[in-house]
Amino acid sequence: MPTYRKSVAPARARASALPLIAIIGRPNVGKSTLFNRLTRSRRSIVGDEPGITRDRIYGEFEWAGRQYRLVDTGGIVPDDPELIPTEIFNQAKVALGEADALVLVVDARTELASPDYDLVRLLLHGNKPVFLAVNKVESDATAAEAENFRRLGLRNVFPISSEHGLGIGELLDAIAEAIPATAGESEAQIEEDAIEPESGTLEPGAEEAHRRLDATPRHRTHGEFEQHETSVAIIGRPNVGKSTLLNALTGTTRAIVSPIAGTTRDAVDEVVEFEGSKLRFVDTAGIRRKGKTRMMAEKLSVVMARRHLEAADVALLVIDATEGVLANDATIGGYAHESGRSVILVVNKWDAVTTGRSDGKPPADREIFERQLRRVLKYLDYAPVIYLSALEGKGMRRVLQEVKTVAAERRKRVTTGQMNRFLERIDFQRAPVPMAKRIRIFYMTQAAVAPPTFVLFTDRDVKLHFAFERFLENQIREAFGFKGTPIWIKVKARNAGNEGTRD
């Protein structure tokens, strides 16, 4: 019997049963470095510039056989009147309310200041266990300086180095001792252990779970399990309303919203359950041209946005109706198209150019706007368009419905028999291709899903002429749909072997 080490239950479904630890502190003390080390990821952007993390970033880690959730918060400066620091503080307060234990991170190389005392008073009000992690202790000299932080009045003081992993074990042992295991957490671990035996023998009572696992539908070519969750990346230029859209879709204030471009840096994600489907929306940083990014945090946030896009199933490309469709929108759309993501075009702030227009100009015409949209984004002609106002919360149900539809179309499979009957009906003489570029097609099969990938078996192993590929793609869409997703077509000469073409 095979050994399974990954649970069939999505991690998010167990999240509420796991104890939550919040990392709190002033800017640039090493909170994100600690978060990344514990979660063994690069989920949170790290840099020398203060104030890089702004939204709440969640992850999970294991210590001494027990699972925990972890939340990284933005650097807090209590009572700061500026807009973004105030919003960071509000996000951190949400994390404080959720958490079972709090880790206050300070920098051993800096002097104690009044904001440190203010933070301690704030944390002690919550009647939750508070642990002081004196970070950047990497020598005997800094270890001695770390003792000065006992003046903050906290009993649990731990000198650590997030960067080098020093002292973190002692901190985690103390946290584990302070948080008793809950009934829900124990049940979740028992269920997971039953499905994830370390040996080849199943635990008693796990037979049914194993049968369910083996019966889970698989896609024949890839062999992957049927998805339990659809990942949706919200992408676009800075300040087009991506964070406002995330908050409207989830009904929360999960992401910081401000008129300052580039507010979002780390990707912020939230799960929405809609008509039996789990949709994970990821708000990414605004993508701008390389020459426009100066600070290292901005450069890293753009790189991370590209990574989250490539890990998503569906991309919501947000366009600002008040600015029209710009060349950078086309560039960002190109990233999604070339990586094989399904795409939905979201025209935000539509009310600002129609019913709520206040600049004296006539309301925008939807047909004219869409013609401009299709002209600039001509390679995304398969993508549906939604006009909405994220600030007003209008059109959110339509977005959820389209995401669900497009995700299903992305994973649609057409049998080889259907494809061959389809080929028989096509009049290839209508394809606008020079005679010298024409090829003879023997048969066609769908080799993969997500995105749908088709293999043509032909008399010659040549690259398809652009016009012929476009003609064939249009015929496939007319016959089978594949709304919102790119279609990839590959050519294989019939005598060139059969690897990678089984259906």
Output the pLDDT for position 320. Answer: 95
- Going from the first residue of the chain to its last (503 residues), give the mean pLDDT of each consecutive group of 10, the final group possibly shorter: 32 62 85 88 48 62 91 63 48 76 90 82 85 90 84 91 91 93 57 44 43 41 55 90 89 50 53 89 72 49 70 93 93 92 96 89 94 95 96 91 96 92 86 76 91 90 84 94 95 63 41
User: Whose CA is closest to 494, among 447, 455, 464, 451?
Assistant: 455
Residue type at 168 in one-letter notation? I
For residue 227, give the DSSP letter: P
- Tell me the CA distances in angstroms from 208 to 5, 73, 184, 215, 436, one per residue in order: 17, 41, 21, 10, 60
Q: CA-to-CA distance for 330 and 333, rounded, in angstroms?
A: 5
pTM as predicted: 0.63
Q: In b/e form, how buried is each residue of 459-482, taking b as 16+ CB within 10 angstroms?
A: eeeeebbeebbbbbbebbeeebbb
Contact between 498 and 481 (Cβ < 8 Å): no
For residue 73, give the DSSP letter: -
Output the pLDDT for position 99. Answer: 87
Output the pLDDT for position 13. Answer: 40
Output the pLDDT for position 288. Answer: 60
Contact between 154 and 174 (Cβ < 8 Å): no
Output the pLDDT for position 488. Answer: 94
Output the pLDDT for position 359. Answer: 84
| 3-state DSSP assignment of residue 146 | helix
- Count H helices and E strands in the chain, helices first: 15, 15
Output the pLDDT for position 50. Answer: 42
Output the pLDDT for position 343. Answer: 97
Name every residue whose Cβ is closer than 8 Å to that of residue 467 and which is 6 or more positions away in sequence: 431, 432, 433
Contact between 380 and 332 (Cβ < 8 Å): no
Give residue for tokens 């704030």: 122
Output the pLDDT for position 184. Answer: 56
Output the pLDDT for position 97. Answer: 82
Name every residue whose Cβ is closer than 8 Å to that of residue 382 and which is 6 or more positions away in sequence: 343, 477, 482, 483, 484, 485, 486, 487
Output the pLDDT for position 87. Answer: 54
Output the pLDDT for position 72. Answer: 84
Count of other CB atoms within 10 angstroms of residue 33: 19
